[in-house]
């Protein structure tokens, strides 16, 4: 059976052009700084995000973890939104790798109230850990692809300057935020000291993320990447896809947002669902009356639709390049059929 796969934008396959680029990529040993394609990707990424330097990594998780290691020391504290990817989905990496403790602030739609961030910043004193990093996530995965506004980013940034604490932005989907805000990605990135973005999600590369920041920060990050075993060799083979992504795959993200909106417009009419209009490509759907996401997902699958869940009462649908507008219409039909048949 051919499935309509709305589990994640990570399921996207590389384009024909990417596959050709992989074959033709000029490569060298990145351990010696000699892979021209990696070097170009790092340089272009930094340029687009308005930072001095970049570092290519195998995954977004590695990018976040390397950033954490580069900003903090064991025994310190990091402020994170309670449902952030770095806290929720990185296998306890912040404590296992960084030896830091999280200070979690539950956000509303992924947005931590500014006054709560300020309150969370530790005072100086013998008994307190040092607050050494604030982490933001834009767009916010578990908040359903929610975009942090520029005003909000600026407010957190101003606060961070007041207390001299760096900001790391988990920008796995920062280009989706930039499309939604109709703002160059630089304008978002200027309110963070380091930013990680993923090439392997809506941008459709087979793998890879880039961390950007100051030259000094990236030098440190390069060492921490090495420490985690993430040093690369002829990685130009995959970095070549990243170059195509930056040139050709960003503007089309708008289409993914429209697909998510189409899905929303259909599902909002169904009484078992409770949902907000998506801003980007992730649709979060709460189930009413004790409906169970695991059971629903199994039924969808029987008819050829794949999705996933945030928990037992919340579904997640993610739109991307490898589902067409017709697929979205079919997905709506499948959901309707399942709901009518069984509930
Ligand atoms: C917001 C966010 N940050 C980081 C990551 C980690 O990326 P990766 O799967 O490449 O490790 C993801 C992956 O889904 C994500 O959604």
CA of 123 to the centre of ligand 1 (A): 32
The pLDDT value recorded for residue 275 is 96
Sole residue written with tokens 């690369």: 232
pLDDT of 343:
61
The per-residue pLDDT for 60 is 98
138 Cβ below 6 A of ligand 1 = no
* Nearest-atom index, ligand 1, CA of 209: 10
59 lines ligand 1 (CB under 6 A): yes
- pLDDT at position 250, please? 98
Ligand 1 close to Cβ of residue 210 (< 6 A)? no
Query: How far apart (Å, rounded) are the C-alpha atoms in residues 215 and 39?
Result: 14
Residues of the chain with confidence (pLDDT) below 70? 342-343
The answer to whether the CB of 253 is under 6 A from ligand 1 is no
Q: 143 in ligand 1 pocket by Cβ < 6 Å?
A: no
Question: CATH 3.40.640.10 region(s) of the chain?
Answer: 15-248
Q: Which residues pair with 308 in a beta bridge?
A: 316
b (16+ CB within 10 A) / e for 289-301: eebebeebbebbe
Please tell me the residue having the least CA distance from ligand 1 atom 8.
Answer: 60
Which residue, 180, 199, 178, is CA-closest to 44?
199
- Ligand 1 atom with the smallest distance to the CA of 61 is 11
Residue 137 CA, closest ligand 1 atom number: 1
Does 15-248 carry CATH code 3.40.640.10? yes
CA of 338 to the centre of ligand 1 (A): 30
In this structure, which CATH number among 3.90.76.10, 2.60.120.10, 3.90.1150.10, 2.60.120.380 belongs to the domain 252-342? 3.90.1150.10
**pLDDT for res 290:** 82
Question: Cβ–Cβ contacts within 10 Å for residue 308, how many?
Answer: 14
Give the number of the atom of ligand 1 that is nearest the alpha carbon of residue 173: 1
* Assessment of whether the complete model's pTM goes beyond 0.85: yes
Instruction: Please state the separation of Cα 188 from the chain's center in Å.
Output: 14
Q: Is the CB of 224 under 6 A from ligand 1?
A: no
User: Ligand 1: which residue has its CA nearest to atom 15?
Assistant: 172
Quote the ligand 1 centre to 60 CA distance (angstroms). 5
196 strand-pairing partners: 170, 211
CATH 3.90.1150.10 intervals, the chain:
252-342
């Amino acid at each position: 059976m051919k499935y309509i796969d709305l589990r994640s934008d990570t399921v996207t396959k590389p384009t024909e052009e990417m596959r050709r680029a992989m074959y033709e990529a000029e490569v060298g040993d990145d351990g010696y700084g000699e892979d021209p394609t990696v070097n170009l990707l790092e340089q272009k990424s930094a340029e687009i995000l308005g930072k001095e330097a970049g570092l290519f990594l195998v995954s977004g998780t590695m990018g976040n973890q390397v950033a954490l290691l580069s900003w903090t020391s064991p025994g310190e504290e990091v402020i994170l939104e309670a449902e952030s990817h770095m806290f929720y989905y990185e296998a306890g990496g912040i404590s296992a790798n960084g030896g830091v403790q999280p200070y979690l602030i539950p956000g509303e739609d992924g947005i931590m109230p500014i006054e709560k961030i300020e309150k969370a910043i530790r005072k100086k004193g013998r008994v307190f850990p040092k607050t050494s990093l604030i982490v933001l996530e834009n767009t916010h995965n578990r908040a359903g692809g929610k975009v942090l506004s520029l005003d909000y980013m600026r407010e957190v940034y101003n606060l961070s300057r007041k207390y001299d604490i760096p900001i790391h932005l988990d920008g796995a989907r920062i280009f989706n935020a930039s499309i939604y805000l109709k703002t160059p990605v630089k304008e978002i990135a200027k309110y963070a000291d380091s930013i990680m973005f993923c090439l392997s999600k809506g941008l459709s590369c087979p793998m890879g993320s880039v961390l950007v920041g100051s030259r000094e920060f990236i030098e440190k990050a390069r060492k921490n990447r090495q420490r985690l075993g993430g040093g690369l060799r002829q990685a130009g083979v995959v970095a070549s896809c990243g170059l195509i992504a930056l040139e050709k795959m960003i503007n089309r993200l708008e289409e993914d947002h429209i697909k998510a909106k189409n899905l929303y417009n259909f599902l909002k009419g169904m009484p078992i669902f409770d949902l907000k209009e998506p801003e980007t490509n992730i649709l979060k759907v709460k189930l009413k009356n004790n409906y169970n996401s695991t059971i629903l997902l199994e039924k969808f699958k029987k008819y050829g639709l794949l999705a996933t869940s945030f928990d037992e009462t919340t579904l997640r649908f993610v739109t991307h390049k490898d589902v067409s507008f017709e697929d979205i219409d079919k997905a709506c039909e499948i959901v309707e059929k399942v709901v009518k048949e069984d509930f």
